[in-house]
Each structure stands twice: as C-alpha cells, then as structure tokens.
Amino acid sequence: MLDEADDIHPLFYGAPKSTEFRKLRKRLVSQVREAIDTYGMIQPGTRWLVCLSGGKDSYTLLAVLYELKWRGLLPVDLLACNLDQGQPGFPSTVLPEFLAKMEVEHRVEYQDTYSVVTAKIKPGATMCSLCSRLRRGNLYRIAREEGCSAVVLGHHRDDILETFFMNLFHGGRLASMPPKLVNEEGDLFLYRPLAFVAEADCDRFARAMNYPIIPCDLCGSQEGLQRAQVKKLLDEWETRTPGRRQVMFRSLMNVRPSHLADPGIFDFLGLMTGEPGEVEENAKHLRLPD
C-alpha cells in the first residue's frame, strides 16, 4: 500500500504498519471499488457530496474514496459535508478542525432540525425517522447548491441487512437500502459505496487511524427497539455460524422473482408448462439444499 508520507493523502498519515492493518485497508479499498463498479456509480468529471456524521463509517468512507482517487480509480471531485443538526452536546468544532487539518475540501452547515423533531415527536418516542428525512432533504439541497451529482452515504453491509430484516419483520415487504438510487425529484443519485463492507471492518479501520469519532446517540434516541433487536439477532446468528451475514447479504444479490409470491414482478398467470426437460430444470431451483 502507500507508505511514504509525501505519497499519500493526509487522511492516511500515521497509518499502522502492521500486516493486519495493511490487509484490512486493502480489503476495504477492494470492496468499495467493487461496489462502485458493480452498481455503475462513476460518471467521470462529476462531483460527489460525501456526507460525514463523525462516526466510524463515514470516516472510513471518506478515507477509502480518497485512496481510490489517489490511485486514479475514482475520476470525480469530492466535497465532504457535515450537517450540524443542533443536537445537544454535539462537538461542533471536531469535524471542521479535522477536515481542515486533513486538507479535505468541505462544507459544514448548521440547521437546527433537532428542535423541529422534538417539537413534533412525543417524549420517549423514536426520533430517528423524522430526523433522517429532514437531514436527507438538507443534504439534497446542499448537493444542488454545490453542483454535485450524487449524495454519498456511509451505510455498510450490516446496515443494509438490518434494514432488510426490519422491513421483513415489521414492514411486510422485501426491501432494503439499495447501493444506488435516484431521488424522488430525479435530479440526484444517492450512493452507498460501503455496501459490501462489514461494520466491524469500519470500526477497526477508524480506530486504528485514531480518527475523532463522535457518538451517534447525542440526542438520546436510538433507531428504536426494533433495529436493536434485529442487530442482536444477527449478532447471535453470526456468533453461532461465522460468515452468516455475508451469506445473507449475497442473497440480496441473487433474487429469483419466480420463486417468491409477488404477481407484480412475475407473471404467474402466464406461466405455462413446457417440455419435460424444462420442467425438471425449473424444479431443481425449488429443492432445498441438502
């Protein structure tokens, strides 16, 4: 990887020299590049608004994108952005000072959405959904003002899986966070380049780099008991069967509409029998693995 201080971006100054860290860094770069290529995120010459919360995931995202850019594999401009939403106790100077020190082009904006949320949400209720919608609206506005074609978020593989199971258990639908989508207005992309990255790897990387991590629960509200329960369930499955999360994530990339039950995405009414060989071949997909 990159070793000499004058050859790398300041985001990597002081990177550990251990073999373990080098492997972690190589894996992160490879997985982010794979996600970007798989979902066609690059439009050369455009500008990305890279959203930073100050958490481990967004720091990892920013660093890896800069490494890809350094390697000539990401021909876009990057603008880091932090939206200070007025949460009590938010350390408003941490990110501006860090980004200036790291020589990262950035914009920090204050919008007191916290007061709006607390005025509308009953005490003790989960604030995250409304807070997220207000944040997203402001980020779209900032992206337009800055001439960006995409808003880039730090959601990782585990976030995507947790959202899938929350929709499955509580929403009655098969859906999750897509790695790439177009906003409702149709003028901006939303990208999640960490889609193939494990949360644990983000944590190891950000802590090894000693980035100034800001806690995500300053408002005193988490993503509700439902997400906490799903996360605990996935943790238990992973403990009993290491690698289970990755297997489950791969299933999101291997969807067979004909083996589900939604007539809106598969023409069951028009399904016809065929030659015996075709019937047998189709039957193979219905069998459970040994």
**Six-digit token string for 20:** 């373990």
Q: How many CB atoms lie within 10 A of CB 76?
A: 20
pTM of the model: 0.87
DSSP code of residue 107? E
Residue 165, CA distances (Å) to 153, 182, 199, 226 in order: 20, 23, 16, 10
Residue of 28, 77, 40, 56 lying closest to 189 (CA atoms): 40
Q: Which CATH number fits the domain 5-252, given the four candidates 2.60.200.20, 3.40.309.10, 3.40.50.620, 1.20.1250.20?
A: 3.40.50.620
Spell out the domain ranges in the chain. 5-252
Q: How many CB atoms lie within 10 A of CB 4?
A: 6
pLDDT digits (tens, 9 = 90+) for 92-108: 899 999 999 999 999 99
Parts of the chain with a pLDDT under 70: 1-7, 124-125, 127, 217-224, 275-290
| Phi, psi angles (nearest 5°) of residue 267 | -85, 80
Residue 255, CA distances (Å) to 185, 270, 272 in order: 28, 20, 21
